[in-house]
Structure 1
Amino acid sequence: MTRLESQPHTYPSDIAFTPTVKALQSRNGSRDAYARMEEEHGWQTRLTPDVARFIEQQTSVFFATASAQGQPYIQHRGGPAGFLHMLDDHTIAFADFAGNRQYLTAGNLADNPKAHLFLVDYAHRRRIKIWGEARVIDDDPALLAKLMPQGYKARGERVVVMSVHAWDVNCPKHIPQRFEAADVAAALEERDERIKELEAQVAELKRLSGASGA
């Protein structure tokens, strides 16, 4: 198996802004703005409490890996809110549930540890991109049990642990606004209860008006 070595970066964003990317930015007129971003604040490497809360609220994410030959692969990962765990401010972990037994993600990580986590909150039109390296842990049943969501009907097979190297928040442009079915159902239930309350108030007012006019 071939393990790919990480290259040192001057700025955290260099993990994505390669020399070729920066050349294209210069050619298209955006390089100066991104250079100022790098020098003034840049992307962060530590997961802040706000980002940690965002991560742990997600129920559907996309996890990207690549083979030793560079062939990318994106796999959906889902579960109840909290299935993504923050082990510390640089580490994310989750239980890998039994699936179609293709083992593409596990195989890719065996050859190439580079990984990317893409999270989208459609309701609030927010997305966070996380770069890092990940590894598969097959022989830690205690950690697997700790990461398994309570009461969730799935079988955990292994653990995936991701070390965060950089993260960035995208603008909401072009993100369609969508809502979770459970949130819509709760809002409709609240609306229906309020309608019942108003109907009862109207009925009571009509009763009182009829009584006073008798």
Structure 2
Amino acid sequence: MTDVPSSDIAFTPRVKALQAQRGSRSAYARMEERGGFRTAVTPELAAFLAEVDTAFLATANAKGQPYAQHRGGPAGFIRVVDEHTLGFADFSGNRQYVTTGNLQENERAFLFLIDYAHRRRVKLWGRARVVQDPDLVARLMPEGYEARPEQAILFTVEAWDINCPQHIPRKVDAAAAAAALARLEAERDRLAEENAALRARLGER
């Protein structure tokens, strides 16, 4: 364990004082004794990323003004580059470039990932940078996805943690729901045909 737990990236002295005041400090102190938040990309996190199709990237400018931007794509659009780095192709959008501008002034960033269907969410603290490398963009671009990549964003993971599922509403992806409904309708039609065939046989007798 290091002298400073990784969770100190979020648990500032002021935060710890509030935890102590409101009765949760001892539980988090035990977590800190084990090192705090995780700092490397684990197979568990990689598997979660492979299923994620939406994310929120938070940045701040040099004055500390925060900004959060939605980023989405097909499941797995956020790729594991190495044990401490994530990357994704940044698609062309409304061309405001707030995130890009913020990262030129302040590399600190935060990723919030949520899976409504399974009521899971992951928080990642780190540093991000925009990369204008066509080869990297091509490697990160989801195959067959119809969007125009403008650049790549690399996110260096400094700490990450899993939130409890409390208060996450369960929502089902529309495509997944449509596929499940199609399977049920196909099974209904098969059973109806089978039932009609049985009735016909009984009628012949």
Fraction of identical pairs, as percent: 55
Selected match of 1:144 from 115, 137, 141: 137
**RMSD between aligned alpha carbons?**
1.4
The amino acid that maps onto 2:44 is D
> 1-side partners of 2:109 and 2:97: how far apart?
15
Greater displacement, 66-75 / 143-152 = 143-152
Greater displacement, 95-104 / 35-44 = 35-44
State the secondary structure of the residue aligned to 1:57.
Answer: coil
> 1-side partners of 2:97 and 2:24: how far apart?
39
> 2-side partners of 1:122 and 1:102: how far apart?
28
Indicate conservation of the 8 Å contact 1:9/1:15, yes or no. Answer: no
- Equivalent pairs counted in the alignment come to 204
How far 1:42 moved relative to its partner?
3.0
> 1-side partners of 2:134 and 2:68: how far apart?
26
How far 1:208 moved relative to its partner?
2.4
Question: Counterpart of 2:6?
Answer: 12
1:176 aligns with 2:169: yes
Selected match of 1:74 from 68, 88, 95: 68
> 2-side partners of 1:194 and 1:68: how far apart?
58
State the secondary structure of the residue aligned to 2:50.
Answer: helix
How far 1:14 moved relative to its partner?
0.6
Selected match of 1:62 from 56, 62, 70: 56
> 2-side partners of 1:56 and 1:172: how far apart?
19
Compute the TM-score of the two structures, normalised by the length of structure 1.
0.91
> 1-side partners of 2:146 and 2:180: how far apart?
26
> 2-side partners of 1:119 and 1:154: how far apart?
21
How far 1:21 moved relative to its partner?
0.3
5+ long unaligned stretches in structure 1:
1-7
Indicate conservation of the 8 Å contact 1:46/1:89, yes or no. Answer: yes
> 2-side partners of 1:200 and 1:153: how far apart?
40
Selected match of 2:105 from 101, 106, 111: 111
C-alpha deviations, 1:97-117, integer Å up to 9, x for none? 111111111111111111111
Indicate conservation of the 8 Å contact 1:91/1:162, yes or no. Answer: yes
5+ long unaligned stretches in structure 2:
none
Selected match of 2:199 from 179, 188, 206: 206
C-alpha deviations, 1:163-187, integer Å up to 9, x for none? 0011111111100110111000000
